[in-house]
A and B are shown apart, each in its own frame.
Chain A
Amino acid sequence: MIQLRNVAKWFDTKNGRVQAVDDVSLTIDRGEIFGIIGYSGAGKSTLIRLLNRLESPSSGEIEVAGSELTKLSPKELRGVRKNVSMVFQHFNLLWSRTVAENISFPLELIGVPASERKRRVQELIELVGLAGREDSYPSQLSGGQKQRVGIARALATNPEVLLCDEATSALDPKTTDSILELLVSINKKLGLTIVLITHEMHVIQKICHRVAVMESGKVVETGQVSDVFQHPEQPITKEFVKQIGAVDDLSLTFEHLKERYPSGQIVKLKFLNETAEQPILSDVLKTHQIGFNIIGGNVTQSQVGALGTLFIQLIGEANEIDRAITSIRSQSVEVEVESDVS
């Protein structure tokens, strides 16, 4: 659906050249939710703005929905833009228009007749759950409701691609989740390809199928969300993954627990997808004569299933613990022996 080939974008400023996007090649498939994560200044905002040519690339090729963006005339570009909609961090609604008029705006631009606009706007208001707020002005809405209007407006022209530029970054966690759920349902219902950028790993983990990690203008890591979560390769990816698990804070507890249970063995279990839903631990504990202590952990839901990391302390005889670890491993759960690691 979207293909970037050796795309670069630099800005010439008074203080010299700034390389915002540096030789990025990516393929985004039809119907997937593709996340791009990076800290601010990583170039992700510039990258997503290249996809509807709010910015033009300095070099490289960008193909979106079958059109080579760099080769379009202004008129052709406006046509493509109706097929590639964008949702913004700060909503960017027209405050002088009501909810219904805002959603109607892109349809007015392409000259859809009033009666058809009205019908389509009503459909979209239902879709994003804003029924009853048609005649409110944006200033009367909460942040989450404003973003729903932004999403409805973006969907008005039946686009194939939805670009989300930090669409949830201005929202509180609860509202963020409701907007993310809306994006997932749109993705499923309409088969829309969604590209989103964010600095929150939570957003990626919750709704994305694949992720690209950006640092200083380059894509340093790409892959299925589950793979990237369980086996982050780059230091920056590891940092993002830690955002979710709060794993760092556990080191103190290890020390503490080791003092209290010198005989114990602290292990880190990594569950992948379907394994997280099976009672592996209780099965193993039933067949081996050991006790256990849960130190901490995190099992979360992602688009591809459950992902989890669990720290436990196994208490019992050393041989028995070793056998238990072996049998957990045989269940395709990764086991790291924490005392070796730390």
Chain B
Amino acid sequence: MFPNVDWQIMMEQTWETLYMTLVAGVATFVIGLALGLILYITNESLLLKNRPIYVFVSAIVNVFRSIPFIILIILLIPFTLFLLGTMLGSTAALPALIIGAAPFYARMVELALREVDRGVIEAAESMGATKWQIIYKVLIPEALPALVSGITVTIVAIVGYTAMAGVVGGGGLGNLAYLEGFQRSQNDVTFVATVLILLIVFVIQFIGDRLVTTIDKRSA
């Protein structure tokens, strides 16, 4: 049915895509959450409002969020070479994936935290909570559904990024579709790679949605 598809290679590349997505996803979650918290905390008078830090972090986030991903990869080649000694393969795609996705997620984290009712933060303050207790006992639990749906959207975007990274030397299904499918005019390879990518996205979205439903206690 798919004469040009080597299933062995197809599966290997699927794992490569999953590997990049997962590692970049976890790193993006951690870095994005930290950046998002900094953005929120430094812009909130109840916590540690600090205009210079906010403006600085905000500017960096905006710059990296605005560079088209395909250009970001190229710009980051010297950095990747310095860090890993190579610009080929799945691991070499990780720095660009993380630097591309973390600022995106950081903005989502900031928005999610801003949705937390200020009254609840004030209530915690009135009970004598420290700033740190407010962050980990109030802000993060209260914003959790939005944080989870945000990381779901971000990871789906990362899957798309891995395909682009594939074109300039990263591994995975994008790389396979480009080299084997497009350049050698084997449309069946492109087709199967696309179906697999769609499947990965659907599974991620499904898991994310289920998680949000479980943790969201806002509606009765």
A92–B117 Cα gap in the complex (Å)?
Answer: 8
- State how many residues of chain B have any CB contact under 8 Å with chain A: 23
Q: B176-220, CB under 8 A of A: which get 1 and which 0?
A: 000000000000000000000000000000000000000101111
| Candidates A95, A108, A137, A139; contact of B137 at CB < 8 Å | A108
| Candidates A54, A110, A139; contact of B220 at CB < 8 Å | A139
When distances are taken between beta carbons in the complex, the residues of chain A under 8 Å from B127 are: 81-82, 85, 105-106, 109, 153, 157
Q: A150-187, CB under 8 A of B: which get 1 and which 0?
A: 00010001000000000000000000000000000000
A93–B126 Cα gap in the complex (Å)?
Answer: 13
B217 touches A79 (CB 8 A): no
A31 to nearest B CB, angstroms? 22
A18 to nearest B CB, angstroms? 16
| Candidates B119, B141, B142; contact of A88 at CB < 8 Å | B119
B119 touches A94 (CB 8 A): no
B141 touches A96 (CB 8 A): yes
A163 to nearest B CB, angstroms? 8
The secondary structure that dominates the B interface is helix
A94–B123 Cα gap in the complex (Å)?
Answer: 10
A149–B122 Cα gap in the complex (Å)?
Answer: 17
A96–B215 Cα gap in the complex (Å)?
Answer: 8
Any chain B CB within 8 A of the CB of A90? yes
A139–B117 Cα gap in the complex (Å)?
Answer: 14
B128 touches A92 (CB 8 A): no
When distances are taken between beta carbons in the complex, the residues of chain A under 8 Å from B130 are: 78
B141 touches A52 (CB 8 A): no
A88–B220 Cα gap in the complex (Å)?
Answer: 22
Give the residues from 102 to 125 in chain A that come closer than 8 angstroms, CB to CB, to chain B: 105-106, 108-110
A94 touches B126 (CB 8 A): no
A140–B219 Cα gap in the complex (Å)?
Answer: 8
Any chain B CB within 8 A of the CB of A86? yes
A94 touches B120 (CB 8 A): yes
A88 to nearest B CB, angstroms? 6
A78 touches B128 (CB 8 A): yes
A52–B123 Cα gap in the complex (Å)?
Answer: 11
When distances are taken between beta carbons in the complex, the residues of chain B under 8 Å from A133 are: none
A81–B129 Cα gap in the complex (Å)?
Answer: 9
Any chain A CB within 8 A of the CB of B62? no
When distances are taken between beta carbons in the complex, the residues of chain B under 8 Å from A80 are: 128
A81–B125 Cα gap in the complex (Å)?
Answer: 8
11 residue pairs A–B, Cβ–Cβ below 8 Å: A54-B122, A78-B130, A85-B126, A90-B119, A95-B218, A96-B144, A97-B141, A106-B128, A109-B127, A137-B217, A153-B127
A-B pairs with lowest CB-CB distance, top 7 = A78-B128, A81-B128, A92-B123, A92-B119, A137-B217, A106-B127, A86-B126
